[in-house]
Amino acid sequence: MTPVLAIARRELRGYFVTPVAYVFMVIFLVLAGLLTFYTGDFYDRGLADLQPFFDMHPWLYLVLVPAVTMSTWAEERASGTLELLFSLPVTISQAVLGKFLAAWGFIGICLALTFPIWITVNYLGDPDNGVVLAGYVGSWLMAGAFIAIGTCMSTSTRSQIIAFILTAAVCFLLLLVGQPQVLDFFQDAVPPKLIGAMGQLSITRHANAIARGVLDLRDLVYFFATIVAWLAASVVMLDLKRTR
């Protein structure tokens, strides 16, 4: 087994050793359901699709992903096991990737467990299941971007709480920057091209496309690029901490 898989497996198992993972899952599922039905006007829209469900995902991830990622590196540093891990024949990239995959897999499991809502919409109407699947894939990719950000923040500190707050703050900023109100606010001060770029940087815009079930190549590239960039930053961060 490659070191990446060994690390990913250990981490994923680690989530389920404590009740925290189960508590987290329950909260995720309850919130996903509640937000969809109450805030998302699931019934009143009269449409057989899952757009209200996926619309809520960025906000769900904003709170829940930092809770998953905060411990990944911060705890390793605080408990001294980082020294053990880095004395093994494993590159920093492999370790970062392994831990990322574990967290991503965990969110994937949570996402898969929302299947009753998919059954519901199929029972009530006749949705385009291709669009629903695209929505799930897109949502999972978005979660990956959040996790990569969380990973990077977790490498920068030994305190899990600081890692949580930093992650939530950065993710919130990335969500906020694409909101029409924010873009309008900058309208007069910033050239239109830059406004466009700001919009493109935002998770919101790409998430909206995903919620509609449109898997545009540009959105895929955006999320993959975000994941790679933040993971690369994590590797650099961990390497820097070895020299300081």
Q: Which residues bind other proteins (CB under 8 A)?
A: 1-3, 5-7, 9-10, 13-14, 17-18, 79-84, 86-91, 239, 242-244
Q: Between 7 and 171, whose beta carbon lies closer to other proteins? A: 7
Decide if 202 contacts 178 (C-beta within 8 A): yes
CA nearest neighbour of 227 among 101, 43, 62, 125: 101
203 and 58 Cβ atoms separated by less than 8 Å: yes
**Looking at beta carbons only, is 18 or 181 nearer to other proteins?**
18
Closer to other proteins by CB, 82 or 227: give it: 82
Alpha carbon distance 216, 222 (integer Å): 10
Given a contact cutoff of 8 angstroms between Cβ atoms, the answer to whether 42 and 135 are in contact is no
Q: Which residue, 57 or 99, is less far from other proteins as judged by CB?
A: 99
CA dist 170 to 60, 63, 130, 193, 232, Å? Answer: 15, 12, 32, 23, 17
Q: Are 154 and 73 in contact (CB under 8 A)?
A: yes
Amino acid in the structure at residue 18: T
In the bound complex, what is the minimum distance in angstroms from residue 25's beta carbon to other proteins? Answer: 18
Nearer to other proteins, 17 or 119 (CB): 17
CB of 102 to other proteins, least distance (A): 13
**Shortest gap between Cβ of 24 and other proteins (angstroms)?**
16
